[in-house]
Structure 1
Amino acid sequence: MDLDGPGRDVQVGRRPPYSEEFRKDAVALFRAASGKRTYAAVAADLGITAESLRTWVRKAEAPATSGGRDADVSVAEELARLRAENTRLLRAEQEWRLEREILRRAAAYFAWEVK
């Protein structure tokens, strides 16, 4: 068995370890910091390397600076992604509020029981 033979470094059919949505969210998080946080700080929060984040940010900036029809498509896609994210966050907020109300009631009940 030759482990150092030809084709050793070829990875056919390998999927990227991070989804495209995760990459876009990571780029958006870095951009939201508006230069107040470094690549390393944002990457550490996400559990990825700073170089991965830097590469994703550069790739995301490339189509935006090229202009033309491709930029319009990516803007439309970004708008759709942001709307979906907004909907997801609104639902999460509703769940959070319901959870908070239930916990408030439980705390009031147990406080009354202790007296």
Structure 2
Amino acid sequence: MTSKYQRRFPEEFKDEAVRAYLDDPTATYASVAKNLGVSGETLRNWVKQHRKQQGASPRYQAPTSENEGLVGYDAVIAEENRRLRAELEKVKAERDILRKAAKYFAGETNW
């Protein structure tokens, strides 16, 4: 059932909504639309219209040595995986430092 009243949004609002979706590779239509108070289908239509006007997918990322040959969403996923692997290594190093510190201080206390 459709509403007899259709909400109108200014072009600036639409552009900001599309930019919010396209700038975050992990964003979904539903999550961005919910934050903005519009339907996911409306946002999807705005993004589709924007991509049609641009002539190419704004999420395209040029291939690098790590994601050679990947385009579009695959390149975004490859970049995210690279970033997460680096973060995991950092967290593992921090964990190991804390383990060594805990062992050191546990051995020092002789109450």
TM-score by length of 2: 0.49
TM-score by length of 1: 0.47
Q: Which has the higher helix share?
A: 1
